[in-house]
Amino acid sequence: MQTSLVLIFPLLVLPLVNAQVPHWGPCPEPATQPAFSLKKFMGRWFEIAKLPAQFEKGRCIETNFTLKMDGTARVVSSEILKGELRSIEGTAVVEDLKNPAKLGISYSYVLPYSPYWILSTDYETSAVVYSCTDVLRLFHVDFAWILGRTRSLPAATINHAKELFANNNIDVSRMIASRQQGCDKDL
Ligand SMILES: *[C@@H]1O[C@H](CO)[C@@H](O)[C@H](O)[C@H]1NC(C)=O
């Protein structure tokens, strides 16, 4: 058992290290938006800031959520990469009915749902979103986003969101602002 863990470890860790810095220990358990309404969360959200994610190198990143008849949501994320508008479609589901702010999003039938937790939102201005995956309960890899209904948010709103992460033991010191300039002109 011990030997196989040692062998598997680097294989599991290396691809993750490239994408994100792993943290020791299991995922934090942040408080989420009480009485979360998926319906009120629908519509267009712009990415204002994020914890670095290698797979998103574009700019003008936004996500459009649309409620479906079955209670799940259609998710269309788009970005401009090398002058080209690219988009991917996925599905968001409430994973925990007791806590509807704990969503899962999958961008493919073959991929499992990734956690997408709404820590806080006023539905009309901003949203604080967190995703964390445990690896063998020994360490975790996480992603964090500040979303806005507009392409920019007041600094006070962004600082408030960062404090919220920090108060939940989520390290957002490496969080970077997303590029949302020149998005509404021609590509
Ligand atoms: C969001 O998706 C809905 C449903 O597909 C569509 O009607 C709407 O135009 C989209 N909004 C944006 C900003 O892309």
One DSSP character per residue, 65-97 reads EEE-TTS-EEEEEEEEETTEEEEEEEEEEES-T
Query: What does pTM read for this prediction?
Result: 0.86
The preferred substitution site among 41, 60, 64 for testing ligand 1, maximizing ligand atoms within 8 Å of CB, is 64
Give me the pLDDT at residue 55, please: 53
**pLDDT tens over the chain, length 187 residues:** 444 444 444 444 444 444 566 788 999 999 999 999 999 999 999 999 998 655 557 899 999 999 999 999 999 999 999 889 999 999 999 998 899 999 999 998 888 899 999 999 999 999 999 999 998 888 998 999 999 999 999 999 999 999 999 999 999 998 999 999 989 865 4
Domains of the chain: 32-177 (2.40.128.20)
Taking only the tens place, the pLDDT of each residue in 127-147 is 999 999 998 888 998 999 999
Taking only the tens place, the pLDDT of each residue in 97-130 is 899 999 999 998 888 899 999 999 999 999 999 9
- Answer yes or no: are the C-beta atoms of 80 and 187 closer than 8 Å: yes
The preferred substitution site among 46, 60, 76 for testing ligand 1, maximizing ligand atoms within 8 Å of CB, is 76
The closest-lying atom of ligand 1 relative to the alpha carbon of residue 43 is 1
Instruction: Please name the residue whose Cα sits nearest to atom 4 of ligand 1.
Output: 66
**Beta-strand relationship, 73-81 and 84-94:** antiparallel
Centre of ligand 1 to C-alpha 100, Å, is: 23
